[in-house]
Structure 1
């Protein structure tokens, strides 16, 4: 063995081992064997994909077969996907969900980055109180605020003559009360990881506070903005509690439409299980596409601020 070869090996109580990072050392220090890891991954994948497979097969099966308990369709059909647009009223409901959840995501992301920049970069009286309040608001259950929000908006209609309940913008305002604190805290965590030297260099060049925010902070904060916007979007997309109280039939969201359709068909002779499964997949598709499209931003945004 030459000197260079011996330098790549280390002596341990158990004998000679390869240099750090080698394949032999990685196999020795691995916590679980490869076959155990593969088995665990396969079990988790089966646990997640089995319900999705059943939903998909039920959506292309007839209602009678699904009610009978047949897992594999006797005849593949796309009839359920054509019926849901009239039976569930999914087109109008999806439009309302996209408008309400999309507007909530955009508005909360825009307001959150400006608010978070002030909270992170400036020292003023009450700053810590605001930061603690942002965390405290996350612990308040939404069910406790349904009645106060409804009474507040009803009072606005009687006192100010402004109709809030039953409108899309009223639902957006309701979602912002929950989405904005969370989005602000996400951006606070993200902006703490950005170096201050970039802002100091911009100030030397004569940039204003607004210029620094729009030209320096905003381009560097896209991962955090995407994360806060997606979580705000999911808040509005998955909500049933507030949407069922704050909307009327022409402004109800997809989640409420699915709930009403499922409740209305429970007492029937043959529940429309196939149509419910098809409608569920159609409503889940925008969220899946959103995650796939912004996947790289989500990974960067969620891990930002974790290491100081």
Structure 2
């Protein structure tokens, strides 16, 4: 039975249409307001205008001087891109070992990957900060305030999820492909990079995108582990928004424009890899 037929079986067609319309409105109306507010003046937004009386794109040019958004976006792109690539590659190789080999402690590791997902990131903020500070004192390394320190923190939280996604996906790949390659003399590394990785591309994309979003949306760790020149886009946006509180005329239009600019890379990422997302997210759901 198709998904549309299944939905119609659960709900009558009129009710399904009403619910679908309401859900679309809940998403589109706030988005439309943000877009219109970014094209309005600060005075118009502060006055409560939903539809601008005067359309202007001045906020998109002012935001680069009123908020340190360019530095934040560059830092976020560098840290999050490296985290996504490293998490996807390490998660794939680790998952391959966990799925295809049997060794002592394998089940413990698999259960630990699931258990790590239940630990809130806020509980790890102080331990991570103390650990990074100790590394700076005892090893002579500068970790706090650097991009690579933020990368290590993000990778710590992204790698368990990426590994579990790949474990679920690799369990569904037939072993016959690997056995056929071994009969031709292919090594384990060759099998991994020439057979497993191309076949697992949907799951690799999903794990990479989620790792990217983990860093892109983070404010807590980025605000503690960075300094002004290494602030991410989320921190720059938060600082800019906090600076307007209590002002004579909050620059709401510029805040909306900054929010759309910060959201643009994520939207572009989804548009580029959307054909892989459906297959990767549903991987392992049917055996």
- With normalisation by structure 2, the TM-score equals 0.96
Shift of 1:161: 1.0
Inter-partner Cα distance in structure 2 for 1:302 and 1:285: 22
Distance 1:215 1:62, change over 3 A: same
Inter-partner Cα distance in structure 1 for 2:216 and 2:117: 18
Alignment match of 1:229 (pick from 208, 226, 235): 208
1:113 aligns to 2:113 (yes or no): no
Higher helix share goes to which structure? 2
1:57 aligns to 2:39 (yes or no): no
Shift of 1:33: 3.6
Alignment match of 1:133 (pick from 80, 92, 112): 112
Inter-partner Cα distance in structure 2 for 1:95 and 1:220: 32
Paired positions, count: 284
Alignment match of 2:243 (pick from 242, 254, 264): 264
Shift of 1:38: 2.0
2:126 is aligned to 147
1:84 aligns to 2:63 (yes or no): yes
The runs of 5 or more residues in structure 2 that have no matched partner are: none
Inter-partner Cα distance in structure 2 for 1:214 and 1:245: 38
2:260 is aligned to 281
Inter-partner Cα distance in structure 1 for 2:116 and 2:108: 12
Shift of 1:35: 2.9
1:36 aligns to 2:15 (yes or no): yes
Q: What is the RMSD computed on CA atoms of the aligned residues?
A: 1.5
Alignment match of 2:139 (pick from 160, 167, 184): 160
Shift of 1:32: 3.5
Inter-partner Cα distance in structure 2 for 1:78 and 1:209: 55
1:297 aligns to 2:272 (yes or no): no
The runs of 5 or more residues in structure 1 that have no matched partner are: 1-19
Shift of 1:40: 1.7
- With normalisation by structure 1, the TM-score equals 0.90
63-72 vs 173-182, which deviates more?
63-72
Shift of 1:159: 1.1
Shift of 1:70: 1.2
Shift of 1:111: 0.5
